Structure 1
Amino acid sequence: RLRLSHFFSERTMFKDVGTSFGRMKHSAMVGIGKANVTKDPEFDENCERIKVQKSIVSKMQTDCKRYLNALRMLSKAHYELAESIRDFYLASDPSQDSLKDLSVNYYNAADQLRSIDAEVEGELQQDFIAPIEVYLTEMKSTFKKIEHRNRSRDDMDRLNRYAGHTDPEKAAQYQRCADSFSALNSELLVELPHVFRTRTEFFDPLFKSLLEVQEKCYSKLASMEQFSQGATNVNRQSIRDYKLHPEGDSVYKQQADAGAVGGAAVGGAAAAGGPTYGQPAGGPTYGQPAPAAGAGPSYGQPAPA
């Protein structure tokens, strides 16, 4: 039994290899124009439409994920910015007339907006991204059917020489491929136009969900306008004339300028040939003994006249 099973297994394997080789050979012959391919213009047109539709929907899914990611990052950055502004005012001198209360309210609003953004993210995941994933999964089965149809067509064309063959097995082999191709082609000629024709039935509610979710998000974001009304007494243009240090020379600058002048004076004295620091005028070089009376000149110097 094991030998028989092994025999049939090897036979099936060699048969599959032969079929694959035959398909490759037929494809190569088609490429150089030495073999014919069964054409169906109606199918080709519908298939191309579905390919374009699948590509657009796939990109739409990617774009929505990028949109969600950007919304998530914006919400986080907005919250952290509001938190920093609040902390700045809370650390300021409470006796100063400032926008401390407004900064706290602004922070609370940003925190609330962050929770709304989380709701928006959940709704988009449920009502936009998830339906697209289901749609693309269902389209995969359609494209697998298209691949099966094309293989059956290629096998039918490859075995066309067996049509009406005197060998019943060869004739049956061709007929199986022809029947498979005919059935799949007829089914797809109904399915593909339906998928394309009903595309708006899928996308219209999807688009409506996106609009409603965005309206919720942006209307709440627009409510942040109220906070600018709470700072009407502040002139935003004054920041252009603001200086951290008061007008006039500071003590530090005066002392720095004085130090620079003193340094220049010392440098001038050295250039004029004054004594070395800490040595009396005309004294010996530091570390050298004074010359004895009547001694000759230093090494390398001419004798005095």
Structure 2
Amino acid sequence: MSWLGLKKAINRAGTQVMLKAGQIEQTVDKEFEFEEKRFRVMESNSIALQKKLRSYLESLKMLTKSQLNVAELLNSFYGQESQTPHQFENRINGEEMELFENLSGDYFHSLKQLNSQVISDLEHPYNQTVLNPIARFNSYYVEVNEAIKKRHRKLLDYDAMRNKLKKLMDTPQTEYTNYDVKFREASDELVETETRYVEINQKLKDELPKLVNMRIAFFDPSFESFVKIQLRFFNENYQQLHQLQSRLDAKTKQDYAEGKLDEKIDDVLSKMRALDITGKDNHIG
């Protein structure tokens, strides 16, 4: 920082202290404060949205990975015979498909496809149409915030100069040598600082509402894409799992519909308890 820059920073810090102490009259622009508040709300929401959208993609990856982990363990639980597929012809479209003798193997195979293909197919369009646009939009906040900081600095200069001229006017002329010269210099400097402040203040009052109002038109395509990608992801999951459901035998479907599956499970648990190895009186010496 140059000596002039350091001097300005020190003067502005002193002005800020006097403003907080009420020793200097502060310039207030209600219109700017309103527009800045709207901007801050949008800034906070869009930055949070960017984080949530990024974590949403990661959550889809975690979901498919968790499904795959469960399917892999189920496949191992049911036995190795489920891991050998054989080919059959799909009667609907004539395409050759893999069919596993054990449903758990088919389930594992389907989720491997979901994990490897569906997510990879969705990740690129999700980045291009959802994450990248909001990242670009949020990148403009850096420039806007710099402009707001600059306005604050110009406002401090303006308030400090107004206070300096007011003190000069309130002090008897006899206490100053060359009073007229000092008054003219202070007046000219006030006009200069006021011009710089008014210029950036008006620019922000004009541009901030435009930026805030642009958010709808900017985010609409990304929102539409987000919904379509969700639909595609869950539809792919549904289609894969629906094919597995069609392989469940009719009796199992009927028992499920009639609520009899719990009875079957209770029956199996009763048989397990009847085994010597699980009996209550069985003790290991």
- Summarize the Cα distance change of 1:120–1:177 in structure 2 as closer, same or farther, 3 Å threshold: same
User: Which residue does the alignment assign to 1:221?
Assistant: 237
Whole-Å separation in 2 of the counterparts to 1:252 and 1:208 = 57
Among 110, 115, 118, the residue aligned to 1:116: 118
Among 181, 195, 204, the residue aligned to 1:166: 181
Higher RCO, Cα 8 Å, sep 6+: 2
- Give the CA deviation at 1:121: 2.6
Whole-Å separation in 2 of the counterparts to 1:256 and 1:226 = 44
Larger Rg: 1
> Which one has the bigger helix percentage?
2
- Give the CA deviation at 1:21: 2.0
Among 200, 207, 212, the residue aligned to 1:184: 200
User: Which residue does the alignment assign to 1:292?
Assistant: none
Contact 2:82/2:105 (<8 A) preserved: no
CA deviation profile, 1:187-245 (whole Å, cap 9, x unmatched): 11211111122221011111101001101001111221332332234454222332386
**What percentage of residue pairs aligned between the two structures are identical?**
21
2:25 equivalent to 1:36: yes
TM (norm. structure 1) is 0.70
- Summarize the Cα distance change of 1:175–1:92 in structure 2 as closer, same or farther, 3 Å threshold: same
User: Which residue does the alignment assign to 1:59?
Assistant: 48
- Give the CA deviation at 1:177: 2.4
Contact 1:89/1:100 (<8 A) preserved: no
Whole-Å separation in 1 of the counterparts to 2:203 and 2:82 = 79
Aligned ranges for residues 1-305 of structure 1 at < 5 Å?
A: 12-13=2-3, 15-91=4-80, 100-114=101-115, 115-160=117-162, 161-162=164-165, 166-167=181-182, 170-223=186-239, 224-232=241-249, 233-234=251-252, 236-237=261-262, 238-243=264-269, 250=276
How many residues align? The count is 244
- Summarize the Cα distance change of 1:250–1:123 in structure 2 as closer, same or farther, 3 Å threshold: same
- Give the CA deviation at 1:111: 1.6
Unaligned 5+ residue runs, structure 1?
1-8, 261-305
One-letter amino acid matched to 1:186: Q
Contact 1:90/1:100 (<8 A) preserved: no
Whole-Å separation in 2 of the counterparts to 1:52 and 1:252 = 62
Whole-Å separation in 2 of the counterparts to 1:54 and 1:46 = 12
- Give the CA deviation at 1:37: 1.7
One-letter amino acid matched to 2:20: G
TM (norm. structure 2) is 0.74
Contact 2:82/2:104 (<8 A) preserved: no
Which stretch has the larger CA shift, 243-252 or 58-67?
A: 243-252
Contact 2:19/2:25 (<8 A) preserved: yes
CA deviation profile, 1:136-188 (whole Å, cap 9, x unmatched): 11122112111111110111111222599734665554443222211111211
Contact 1:153/1:181 (<8 A) preserved: yes
- Give the CA deviation at 1:132: 1.1
Contact 1:64/1:129 (<8 A) preserved: yes
One-letter amino acid matched to 2:192: R
Whole-Å separation in 2 of the counterparts to 1:183 and 1:170 = 20
Contact 2:134/2:219 (<8 A) preserved: no
Contact 1:72/1:117 (<8 A) preserved: yes
Whole-Å separation in 2 of the counterparts to 1:37 and 1:227 = 72
